[in-house]
Amino acid sequence: MSVVSQPIDRTDGPLKVTGQARYAAEFQLPRLAHAVIVQSTIAKGSIVSLDASGAQKAPGVLLVISHLNAPKLPQGGKAAIKPPAGRTLSLLQENVVHYNGQPIAVVVADSFEHAVAGADLVRVRYAEAKAQLDFERAKRDAYPVKQMPQGEPAVAWGESDKALGAAEVRIEQTYTTPMETHNPMEPHATIAAWEGERLTLYDSTQYISGVRETVAKTLGIAPERVRVVSPFVGGGFGCKGSTWSHVVLAAMAAQRAGRPVKLALARPQMFGPVGGRPQTEQRIALGAKKDGSLVAIRHDVVSHTSLMEDFTEPATMPTRALYACPNAAVSQRLAALDVGVPTFQRAPGESSGTFALESAMDELAYALGIDPLELRLINYAEADPRTGKPWSSKMLRECYADAAERFGWAKRPAKPRALREGHALVGWGMATATYPAHRRPAAAMARLLPDGTALVRSGTQDLGTGTYTVMTQVAADALALAPERIDFELGDTLMPPAGVSGGSTTVASVAPAVKAACEEVRGKLASLFAPGREQDVVAENGWLWLKSQPSRRESYAAILARAGGAPLEAQAKAEGEERDKGPYATRSFGGVFCEVRVDEDLGRISVPRIVAAYSVGRLMNAKLARSQLIGGLVWGVSMALMEETHLDLRDGRIVNANLAEYHVPVNADIGAIDVSFCDENDTRFNPVGARGIGEIGITGIPAAIANAVYHATGRRIRKLPILLDDLI
């Protein structure tokens, strides 16, 4: 029986529950020093003076690095590498301040406490300049996006303006989403250690190879001199996909101090220096016939970026793919602010974009007098609306039907404010979830050891999503071994390289490489067992035998011993896809249904139940897949009702830079979540049939909640988060 798809327990679970899993900040090195970043307190200007004398005299302080004494880096510290692997960094090469919270000095001491105390003694005087912090004002000078990695910034087909003008029913509205900030359980952390001219970085990252390349180019050294180690990551979700300033600063500090240096960000330092989701303003116009069929879509997005570097929140991407429509146009523009560079945050663009599009579809359904689910079925896209390509696999109809039946959608009254329970107004809402499927080049190594066990490696990452477990399952099937006889290792640039663990691509990219390497090893073993008769060989649970001669049977260990006792090894590569070049369009889909209750007197919103079904390709591990989708849905509740980063428009300071005031859900905020999957195997997409599932869970659910709030109250809220203030 195949091990893949089975709900086996996490192979790394015992290490985590016993505290043996070692995260970046937990590596113990001799003479380890501690570094703390000093941050700017103005939004824009320059440093007139920086007095570190008090810090340098403080107990335990080893050194203070600032623009006054930092080593001069090639190209002024600007990495010769394009985002997302490298960003515009603040590496103490100049006295210019670009945003509040920018690193302007690093204090290194013999203990963390001494470093914190020393950082507090650094005195800075600034010459302030007028900063642009108001998104409403910055929008006036918004400019078109030149390029973005997800696709063309502006796309059109048909004649949308003409079709909108002639539409029998039309809605046009503006939807907004706020700045949001990553808050994974593990903040960013790096330990840097030099051995002569070689640098080892223990880093909390989603992309060990990207860190290696970026740091090497930034410091002006060969990549072969940099090793990056990251066996466990305590959550990434996009913020750890790029190499940020603290990583290079740790390397600089360690080199100057002549000893290993740990630089771990405090929770408030997660707000600004390491990115976050940009705010958006999204104008959507939908035109339809009276029967509900769409005739035109227009979706225009403005999102904020930093004056340091352009970053685009690609919120128009789902609009290009979700519904069949002969006329459509989308555009993306940027409004630049004096803030830190934004970055990818779980389902970038797709989560914010589906909020706007799926809210607009709900509004259109009410305008037409058609059930919201029925409207989506009327406009079901049998092929990609923009390219006309068939889907590699799509079971969204089945998702709608399954989730709607389990939710009881057929009993939903059409009229808002029709359901009530005591003081609570009850509302039911639904939306479509979606996320693109991509894969990147990856490599893997498999080694069959003399005792019949196997070692499999790939230089990928595990963000807590289950990569160790899933790759063990893939290897187990390919080698015909029990999972407990396989040791899968990752998280080291000495291993065969793999891409960033972002964009829900890890399984889709790495699993084919693991499968190919293991199958090659098994082929070599079959040749040792029965030369020239490999096609007649059967493998199962560490044994080979011949189909034509079942009595001829031998264990892996015995075969290797007979051949001299040396291990068998193979390496394999899996290619990535060329975007938009293949014969099929590839996306994952889901149907999300939720119930909300709104206290009629207080405006407080709760979400007692969510029912969702997903079309995501083959499940590699049913238990981990369900956990991933539940986690995404929880974050969707957070996005809908809680999360918002508040920027002080006077000085650019983030005023809620802690988990006391940056609200995220606790257990009491989350009701019942019922997740199911359609039975699918998308081998047109890749050899293992799996598409990524890490990000689709957060898409759709914010809109479903907003639509349920309207159904409960009759009040349409077009902004996130939806607060009780909006309903009182």
* Active site amino acids: 695
Whether the bond into 721 is cis, omega within 30 of 0 = yes
Cross-strand partners of 86: 243
Longest dimension (CA), the chain: 86
Whether the bond into 74 is cis, omega within 30 of 0 = no
Q: How far is CA 51 from CA 48, 103, 128, 578, in A?
A: 10, 15, 18, 52
Whether the bond into 84 is cis, omega within 30 of 0 = yes
Whether 105 contacts 64, CB under 8 Å? yes
Q: Please work out, in degrees rounded to the nearest 5, the angle formed at the alpha carbon of residue 19 by the alpha carbons of 14 and 25.
A: 130
224: left (phi over 0), alpha (psi -120 to 50) or beta: alpha
Q: Which tokens in the block code for residue 356?
A: 């706007």
Reported as type and span, the H/E element at residue 562 is helix 556-562
CA distance 488 to 454: 8
Whether 550 contacts 559, CB under 8 Å? no
Strand 189-195 with 261-264, pairing: antiparallel
Q: Positive or negative CA dihedral for 639, 286, 609, 632?
A: negative
For residue 546, count other CB atoms closer than 10 A to its CB. 16
Compute the half-sphere exposure of residue 476: CA atoms within 13 Å on the CB side of its CA: 23
Say which DSSP state 180 is in: B
Whether 346 contacts 313, CB under 8 Å? no
CA distance 55 to 576: 50
Neighbour-count burial of 410, counting CB atoms closer than 10 A to its CB (0-12 exposed, 13-18 middle, 19+ buried): exposed
